[in-house]
Amino acid sequence: MIQKALLLDTINQQATINFEAAGFEVVTFPKNITIPEFTEQAADVDVIGVRSGPAIPAEIIQAAPHLRAIGCYCVGTEHIDKVVAAENDVAVYNAPFDNGRSVAELVIGATFSVMRRLQEHNRALHAGNWTKTEQLSYELHGKTMGIVGYGNIGQQVGGMAEALGMNIAFADITRRTPNGRATQMRFNELLEVADVLTVHVPGGQNGPILNNDAFARMKQGAYVINTARAQAIDYDALAMALDTGIVAGAALDVFTNEPKKNGPGFVNQFQDDPRVLLTPHIGGSSQEAQISAANTVTAKLIEHCYEESFMANT
């Protein structure tokens, strides 16, 4: 019997190529699919592949009796009901390392932008205003990059930033072996020394990592970058920190209510603030990262199905 893969239509075409080469039938579906539509599509599939959305709740898993595995072509798996998946012997795979370089490069690019006010000057010149000035513009060299979460992405950010002449400090819930000249310190100590603070954790058990108390401890005039999860930062607290000058600028790639498809509909409190660089959750959206994820996750799904088939026939 031919096995069937149901893939989100934004997953790189390499996934389809790999599935078809392994003998799978491939069907695609849109990111903004409704639950009833998704449930109907999933009724006879062996694997489902998504990126950071749409969510796969219990009702979809329970309505797919042939489902063997779900592949998240991204880092996070929180949009999958993993408890129900486990109860139904459905494996969940992801790509924890494939977009690390892509995200790290975005962090470095965002750091250049907010410290040299590139997004502000870009807006001004597109509006016909000449804004040549050295005011509130700084070099990265000699500044301290503070990294919250020193995992795969955080370590790559540190390596790139150190190559640019920055000092590297990081905080993590576990003891980590530092790369290069990086120094591990307590979170509150990190807040006090970081000129740029980049977040690479999903958030704390008790709420956002960066809240009013955290911002009050930060070095005056620091910059904040978030390419992890919107829940990691209290954005209302960030707005207050910007208004008081504690934070000089920010770059945000993740938001609490992200549109389900491209086009109009994005609304955010920082849209009119030139100090804030906004990007549409593109940390892992490079061609290289998506091809790598397509190869990695698809290989895991194919191997899982082959192993299950082998065990069923022995």
Label residues 142-165 b or e (16+ Cβ within 10 Å = b): ebbbbbbbbbbbbbbbbebbbeee
Contacts of 215 (CB under 8 A, 6+ apart): 237, 238, 240, 241, 246, 247
Asked about 176 being catalytic, the answer comes back as no
Q: How many CA atoms lie within 13 A of 39 on its CB side?
A: 9
**Catalytic-labelled residue, pool 281, 288, 307, 308:** 281
Separation of CA 314 from chain center? 41
State yes or no: is 66 an active-site residue. no
Q: At what angle do helices 13-21 and 287-312 cross, to 10 degrees?
A: 30
Q: Which of 68, 101, 200, 229 is catalytic?
A: 229
Which position among 162, 258, 275, 308 bears the catalytic label?
A: 258
299: left (phi over 0), alpha (psi -120 to 50) or beta: alpha
**Catalytic residue status for 200:** no
Written as six digits, the tokens of 31 are: 């990111």
Query: From the CB of residue 1, how many other CB atoms can be counted at a distance below 10 Å?
Result: 6
Within 10 Å of residue 127's Cβ, how many Cβ atoms?
8
Quick one: which of 214, 261, 267 has its CA closest to 238? 214
CB-based burial label for 65 (10 Å; 0-12, 13-18, 19+): exposed
Q: Which amino acid is at 112?
A: F
DSSP annotation of 43 reads G
Please identify every residue annotated as catalytic. Answer: 229, 258, 281
